[in-house]
């Protein structure tokens, strides 16, 4: 049976990607050169080198479920200098989620959501 889903996302600049994901709370568990593995609590993200990716044209995105305190996370990211997506401010959605979005240095949209 399936025990986990682990996104594999592209990165252009390894150092920028490591800095960004460390800033939002992920820990770098493995650096295999062109392949990175991060974790945060029960979440794992894998990254592969993609030198030709244009971050302004990236269609990569993931949804990260937050169990509690999404407002605290939102404010922490802002205080850490992470830019909130212009259309991704923290708000309650019609599907009973509090959500906000950010974009990583590689153009991947990360949406954080909590049931309300």
Collapsed DSSP state (helix, strand, coil) of residue 38: strand
For residues 2 and 16, is the Cβ–Cβ distance under 8 A?
A: no
The whole-angstrom separation of Cα 100 and Cα 34 is 29
Mean pLDDT for all residues in the chain: 96
| 44-98 per-position pLDDT tens digit | 999 999 999 999 999 999 999 999 999 999 999 999 999 999 999 999 999 999 9
Enumerate the β-bridge partners of residue 43: 40
pLDDT band at 14 (very low <50, low <70, confident <90, very high): very high
**pTM score:** 0.94
């Amino acid at each position: 049976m399936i025990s986990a889903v682990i996104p594999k996302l592209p990165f252009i600049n390894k150092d920028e990607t490591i800095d960004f994901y460390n800033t939002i709370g992920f820990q770098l568990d493995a650096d295999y050169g062109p392949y990175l593995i991060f974790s945060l609590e029960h979440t794992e993200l894998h990254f592969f080198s993609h030198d030709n990716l244009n971050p302004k044209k990236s269609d990569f995105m993931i949804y990260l479920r937050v169990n509690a305190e999404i407002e605290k996370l939102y404010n922490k990211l802002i205080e850490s200098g992470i830019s909130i997506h212009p259309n991704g401010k923290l708000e309650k959605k019609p599907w009973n989620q509090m959500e906000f979005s950010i974009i990583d240095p590689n153009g991947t949209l990360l949406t954080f959501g909590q049931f309300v």
